[in-house]
Amino acid sequence: MAKPKTKFFCTECGYESPKWFGKCPGCQAWNSMVEETESVVKTQGMNAPIFQSKEKAQSIINIESDKEPRILTGIGELNRVLGGGIVPGSLVLVGGDPGIGKSTLLLQTSHALTTQGLRVLYISGEESVRQTKLRADRLGALSAELYVLCETNMESIEEAIEQIQPQFLVIDSIQTVFMPEVTSAPGSVTQVRECTTRFMRIAKIRGIATVLVGHVTKEGAIAGPRMLEHMVDCVLYFEGERHHTYRLLRAVKNRFGSTNEIGIFEMGEIGLTEVENPSELFLSERPLGVAGSAVVASMEGTRPVLVELQALVAATHFPSPRRMCTGMDHQRMALIIAVLEKRMGMFLQNQDAYLNVAGGVKLDEPAIDLAVAVSIASSFRDISTKPYDVFFGEVGLTGEVRGVSRAETRVKEAAKLGFRRVIMPEKSMKGWKHPQDIQIIGVSTVADALAVALD
């Protein structure tokens, strides 16, 4: 017998090499090369009828530019994240920590689609059909058009798809599916890549909306090769803290809609329920009249979200003060502290600074800079902000407050929740009609904002 050959694959970019490297030559990532046995995929499997397409190349001028039809899932938050619904023939990848609620969400979605007359096939490689039935009983997701199969063999899955002819397909999870002609173990780089390629061809040729569930690593990224996220049409991350009941569904890639869109759910005994107004949820336990607290109007995709920022500045006896933050970029916080020291004359070199985005939300847009500066200054001076003030704006290194996008949407959300005053960049006040029931104050520097907020 011939000795089996081995190759090394990069889990980040899929780079192949006959020998091991500590640093990938393709993407320069460290310790990302894994060893796998070289395998040859049978030609018969790739030439199966399900893969044959009779389409011919067309001139782009002759192609009709109709909008993609969408299937409403019956869950408003999921429709928002997907850009208006599921596109037939699309391939969606859903990742999240174990026990976060991925299977619960997809089972509820499958049941909602069956109520519209669609046929759904739910394939579970980790749970038996009885375990899936127990979850369906608890969620009330029972329908004659919802078919459940416990299978991990790719050939058997293709036979089930050919027999049932579903319009919606769920694979839970892609790391458990394997192709018999590939000698690697299930979950390896080669198996995940080949199985995903097969599901992609099935989805595109047959027009089946397919959802793949992916495991995540300890760093929070989806396990398997990085190219897995490039192969699919949409990548969704299901986030949430174990100590909180709500969950965030975030889109980081979407070929049919906007990215960075979020949907918010609350986990209960009967499954996941939608949270239609997340701002009220995040501000429900906000203390009033406390130094270091500020409310920021942030944009998550197309949705405005009002979140509380909490800062604590305390004297330290150590040579180097601590800078800790949760829910935002640590480097951004250090930059704003440097601006307050240099431009505002605040002596923060002997002060520990802690910043927290209440509710466990992660904010990454520059528009939260002004609220961060106000909360840190409020805690340092021990002066509380007004309980009905909202802040947003980008802070520059010279202490200026720069304009941000969608100022009108942020102001309307603040007015809807009963806030009385908005402190925002002066340059963002032009070009839209101001509401009459809320006061808008434009500032051009951080000094102007602090003079208004901490008077």
What pLDDT digit, counting tens, does each position of 109-118 carry?
A: 999 999 999 9
Task: Let me know whether 224 and 324 are in one domain.
Answer: no
Q: What is the mean pLDDT of the chain?
A: 88
Task: Let me know whether 231 and 293 are in one domain.
Answer: no
- 223 assigned to some structural domain: yes
CA-based nearest residue to 177, from 224, 113, 119, 109: 224
Calculate mean pLDDT across residues 124-134. Answer: 92
Confidence band of 345 (pLDDT split at 50, 70, 90): very high
Using the 3D structure, point to which of 275, 290, 323 is the last residue of a domain.
275
Q: Which residues of 359-384 are buried (b: 16+ CB within 10 A; e: fewer)?
A: bbbebebebbbbbbbbbbbbbbeeeb
- 350 assigned to some structural domain: yes
Owning domain of residue 100: 70-275
Contact predicate 237/95, CB 8 Å:
yes
Task: Let me know whether 255 and 379 are in one domain.
Answer: no
- 176 assigned to some structural domain: yes
Contact predicate 139/270, CB 8 Å:
yes
CA 180 to chain CA centroid, Å, is: 33
Tokens linked to 71: 């299937």
| Model confidence at 228: pLDDT above 90 | no
Residues contacting 449, CB < 8 A, separation 6+: 370, 373, 374, 391, 393, 401, 423, 443
Whether pTM exceeds 0.85: no
- pLDDT of 183 reads 79
| Model confidence at 46: pLDDT above 60 | no
Tokens linked to 339: 């601006």
- 50 assigned to some structural domain: no
Task: Let me know whether 269 and 290 are in one domain.
Answer: no
- pLDDT of 63 reads 79
Task: Let me know whether 12 and 133 are in one domain.
Answer: no
| Model confidence at 407: pLDDT above 50 | yes
Q: What CATH number does residue 377 fall under?
A: 3.30.230.10
Over residues 411-428, the pLDDT tens digits come to 999 999 999 999 999 999
Alpha-carbon gap, residue 197 to 124, rounded angstroms: 19
Alpha-carbon gap, residue 447 to 428, rounded angstroms: 18
Confidence band of 146 (pLDDT split at 50, 70, 90): very high
Confidence band of 51 (pLDDT split at 50, 70, 90): very low
Task: Let me know whether 165 and 91 are in one domain.
Answer: yes
Confidence band of 370 (pLDDT split at 50, 70, 90): very high
| Model confidence at 334: pLDDT above 90 | yes
- pLDDT of 42 reads 47
Confidence band of 3 (pLDDT split at 50, 70, 90): low
Alpha-carbon gap, residue 14 to 226, rounded angstroms: 7
- 43 assigned to some structural domain: no
Q: What CATH number does residue 263 fall under?
A: 3.40.50.300
Using the 3D structure, point to which of 275, 306, 340 is the last residue of a domain.
275
Task: Let me know whether 244 and 189 are in one domain.
Answer: yes
Task: Let me know whether 8 and 78 are in one domain.
Answer: no
Task: Let me know whether 294 and 405 are in one domain.
Answer: yes
- 152 assigned to some structural domain: yes
Token look-up 């909490």 returns 310
CA-based nearest residue to 408, from 438, 386, 379, 387: 438
- pLDDT of 278 reads 84
- 46 assigned to some structural domain: no
Alpha-carbon gap, residue 235 to 102, rounded angstroms: 13
Tokens linked to 276: 């239609």
Query: Residues forming the annotated binding site?
Result: 96-103
Over residues 256-305, the pLDDT tens digits come to 888 878 888 988 888 899 988 888 878 888 888 899 999 999 998 788 99
Quick one: DSSP state of residue 428? G
Task: Let me know whether 271 and 288 are in one domain.
Answer: no
- 56 assigned to some structural domain: no
Task: Let me know whether 134 and 247 are in one domain.
Answer: yes
Return the percentage of the chain with pLDDT > 90, whole number.
57
Tokens linked to 263: 């949907």
Alpha-carbon gap, residue 201 to 52, rounded angstroms: 9
Using the 3D structure, point to which of 222, 254, 275 is the last residue of a domain.
275
| Model confidence at 331: pLDDT above 80 | yes
Over residues 183-226, the pLDDT tens digits come to 778 888 888 889 999 999 999 999 999 999 988 766 666 766 67
Alpha-carbon gap, residue 125 to 327, rounded angstroms: 34
Query: Residues forming the annotated binding site for ATP?
Result: 96-103
Tokens linked to 18: 């006959």
CA-based nearest residue to 146, from 176, 117, 180, 185: 117
End-to-end CA distance of the chain: 84
- pLDDT of 128 reads 92
Q: What's the total number of domains in the chain?
A: 3
Most confident of 91-105, 215-229, 350-364, 385-399: 385-399
Calculate mean pLDDT across residues 352-367. Answer: 90
Task: Let me know whether 255 and 299 are in one domain.
Answer: no
- pLDDT of 44 reads 46
